[in-house]
Amino acid sequence: MDVDREMLRYPGLRPYFYEGKPCPRRGAERERVLILAGMYASVLDTGVLTTRLVPATESHEDWKNYSQFILNNSPTMREFVREYPHWYPELTKLL
């Protein structure tokens, strides 16, 4: 799941994850944002979990800090993770 590639392909999506822009209420843009939110949540949750379980990576705090930044700056991500807390347990802990 290449989140950065999708951001590059649809640069208008970036504000939904980095600048506090709320998720669109309807339409194709809403679907893109929600699909990307799912991809992003999977990547972040896996990164936080993996780096916690493999301390030798020495990047657990980095993953936590970056994930916290995204959650703090994206209403879409917060709502998405709250809607599916069992899918993203590591991110749910950061809410």
Query: pLDDT, tens digit, for every residue of 29-76?
Result: 999 999 999 999 999 999 999 999 998 999 999 999 999 999 999 999
Average pLDDT estimate for 6-33: 94
Average pLDDT in the 82-88 region? 97
pTM comes to: 0.91
Domain parsing of the chain, residue ranges: 3-18+29-94
Contact 60, 41 (CB under 8 A): no
Rounded CA separation 64/22 (Å):
23
Which pLDDT value is given to residue 1? 59
How distant, in Å, are the alpha carbons of 24, 58, 63 from that of 29?
7, 37, 28
Q: Is 78 exposed, middle or buried (CB count within 10 Å of its CB: 0-12, 13-18, 19+)?
A: middle
pLDDT at 13 over 80: yes
Return the closest-CA partner of residue 11 out of 21, 91, 46: 21
